[in-house]
Amino acid sequence: MLARGIAAAPALLLVDEPTAQLDQRTAATVSDALANIATEGTIIVVATHDARTRDACTDIIDLGRAA
């Protein structure tokens, strides 16, 4: 599904838990792919519990701390 979304070259991509249930190597590949399309101008909104995925983002809203 992620590959299909990337192939469409969207202006905005909403991604829910893109690295869930993946090993570290595959998760890093997914994060790299998202970073690459972000540098090409796609806005990517990611919902994640994975600290490594979160740390790869440029802007973060932590809903766990929103109170």
Q: What does the H/E/C string look like for 5-66?
A: HHHCCCCEEEEECCCCCCCHHHHHHHHHHHHHHHHCCCEEEEECCCHHHHHCCCCCCCCCCC
Full-model pTM: 0.79
Instruction: Give residue 36's Cα distance to chain centre.
Output: 11
Question: Does 63 fall in a domain?
Answer: no
Segment 41-56, tens digit of pLDDT:
899 999 998 888 888 8
**Domain range for 9:** 2-55
Question: Does 66 fall in a domain?
Answer: no
Segment 12-52, tens digit of pLDDT:
999 999 999 999 999 999 999 998 898 888 999 999 988 88
- Give the number of domains in the chain: 1
Question: Does 42 fall in a domain?
Answer: yes
Q: What is the pLDDT of residue 21?
A: 93
Q: What is the pLDDT of residue 55?
A: 85
Question: Does 61 fall in a domain?
Answer: no
Amino acid 3 reads A
